[in-house]
Structure formats: C-alpha cells, structure tokens
Amino acid sequence: MTFLHLNWKRFHLVKEGIGLFLIFSAITIAFDAGYYLPSKREINGLKGEVEKLEGRVAGYQAAQAASGKDYKRLQELLRTYEGMEVSLLLGKEQIPPAKEVSNVLKEISSPRPGLTLLSLQASPVEDKGECLRLPLVLQFRGTFPSFGAYIVSLENSGRLISVENIKLVKENSAGLLIRMDISTYLMKDGAV
C-alpha cells in the first residue's frame, strides 16, 4: 500500500508538472504570437531597410567621390581656360589685326638715332592659317650700337616679328650698310 500511496503522490506531482508545463507552453505561445513574432518580423523588415539605406549611402559616397573628382577636374579646366585667355590676349597684342598693317609698318620703320632707313620693301602677304605673314626687306645705314638698339626695340615692341636674315657690310667712314629680312604677322579678319 505504501507503494500505491507513493504512486498517487507522484501522480499528483506529475499532474501538477504537466499543468505547469501546459501553462508555461501557453504563455510561451501567447508571447511568441503576440510579441516575439511581430517584433521579429519588424526587426527583419528594419534590417532590410537598413541594408537598403546602407546601399544608398554607399551610392551617395561614390557619387560624392566622383563629384569631388569632377570638381577638381573643373578647377583644372578653369585654370587652363584662364591661361588660354591670357595667351590669347598676349597673342592679340603680338599679332595685330590685318587692318593695322600701316601701324606695324610705321613702328618698324620709325626713325632711330644713329640709323637711317634707306628702303623698305614688302613682299606679298602669305596665308598661314589664322594669320598672315608679311615678309619685309629693310636697308639701313648706321652704326653697330644703333643697329643693336634697333633690334632690342623690335624685341621689346610686343609684336611677333621674326628676324630671318641680316647682312652687315662695312662702309669706309660712314659705318655699316645693313640689310635685314624680317617677317611680321597679322591676324586675319574674323580670326580669334
């Protein structure tokens, strides 16, 4: 009898254990269904959104890096453009428009101390693309220092003038007879 009596006591404990297990299981299922599963779905949804946002951020960072490179390239282009503008302005001073040919000839043939212009011959103008080449032959009589000062004045004139040939012939007491072949350049009408 003690054996049966003990079994009933154990059965009673088993019955309470099963009851507690069922209650715990019901609470766990209710917790999962009411709180955990919706939260897990929400967390998974948020993780997906975070991944999308990280992808967008990576795209924005790449775009920013590219725009930074574009900005640097733009700055380089602006500096190059400014340099080209300066070169163009200098070029316009060095190569005057064709309509200013008379001013160029006056500048080249203007009287210089110690130097006498004997002749100035212009050859036909040659087309060189956007500009024109005007070949000239000049003959002077004078001293070597005066001729040197003339060459320096041509160099400092700001005009594009190339000296192509110089012939110096010593005359008795009169000094030198100088023959010079030069070319000056003129911008065609409508050329930049």
As a whole-number percent, the residues of the chain with pLDDT over 90 amount to 10
pLDDT value for 173: 73
**Residues 108, 61 share a domain:** no
What's the whole-number mean pLDDT along residues 170-177?
A: 81
pLDDT in tens, 59-113: 888 888 888 888 888 888 888 877 676 666 555 666 777 778 888 888 888 888 8
Number of domains in the chain: 2
Residue 90 belongs to a domain:
yes
Residue 79 shares a structural domain with residue 127: no
Q: Are 119 and 139 in contact (CB under 8 A)?
A: yes
Full domain range(s) for residue 130: 98-187
At 48, the amino acid letter reads G
> Residue 99 corresponds to which tokens in the numbers above?
């309509």
DSSP class of residue 137 equals E
pLDDT recorded at residue 90: 53
SS3 105: helix
Do residues 21 and 45 both lie within one domain? Answer: yes
Higher pLDDT, 138 or 174: 138
d(CA 187, CA 192): 8
Whether the pLDDT of residue 139 is over 90: the answer is yes
Q: Pick from 66, 94, 122: which residue ends a domain?
A: 94
Based on the fold, state whether residues 52 and 105 are members of the same structural domain. Answer: no
Cα distances (angstroms) measured from residue 117 to each of 77, 143, 172, 188: 48, 12, 18, 28
Question: Cα–Cα distance between 153 and 150 in angstroms, integer?
Answer: 5
pLDDT at residue 1 tops 50: no
Let me know whether 171 and 103 are in one domain: yes
pTM of the model: 0.51
Using the predicted structure, report yes or no on whether residue 9 has a pLDDT greater than 90.
Answer: no
